[in-house]
Structure 1
């Protein structure tokens, strides 16, 4: 529980620092991007802090490119 509170506190501090300048300059798209990325980051940090098993993004990249590399290696032999 302390992990969740800590990450949320940090997120709130970042929001209080960044959001006023984005609103003042009327940067709506950047504000949406900031909120989306901040939320994604906080959710991933909380999941990691609670020791949940998270998928590795590299596994997806390997799954996509491994068949292509096998085809290329077979063609080069």
Structure 2
């Protein structure tokens, strides 16, 4: 639990250091992208720290492309 709290505090520190200059320079699109990516990364890091099983994205890719691969292999047999 301490790991998760520490990572959230570190994410808040990053936001307080990096976000104000972006907003001050009126770079709203990069600041939104920065905030979204930092939020996603923080959520994944906290879930990993709490030992929540996070699915591997490569499993989805292999699931989607397996029928295509099989049909191409059958075509060349």
TM-score range, shorter chain: over 0.9
1:1-77 correspondence to structure 2 within 5 Å:
1-77=1-77
Give the CA deviation at 1:58.
0.6
**RMSD (Å) for aligned C-alpha atoms:** 0.9
Whole-Å separation in 1 of the counterparts to 2:71 and 2:64: 12
Q: How many residue pairs align between the two structures?
A: 77
Offset from partner CA, 1:12-45 (integer Å, 9 cap, x none): 1211221011111101111111111111111000
Whole-Å separation in 2 of the counterparts to 1:19 and 1:32: 9
Whole-Å separation in 2 of the counterparts to 1:18 and 1:76: 54
Whole-Å separation in 2 of the counterparts to 1:24 and 1:41: 24
Q: How high is the TM-score relative to the length of structure 2?
A: 0.93
Which blocks of at least 5 consecutive residues in structure 1 are unaligned?
none
Give the CA deviation at 1:72.
0.6
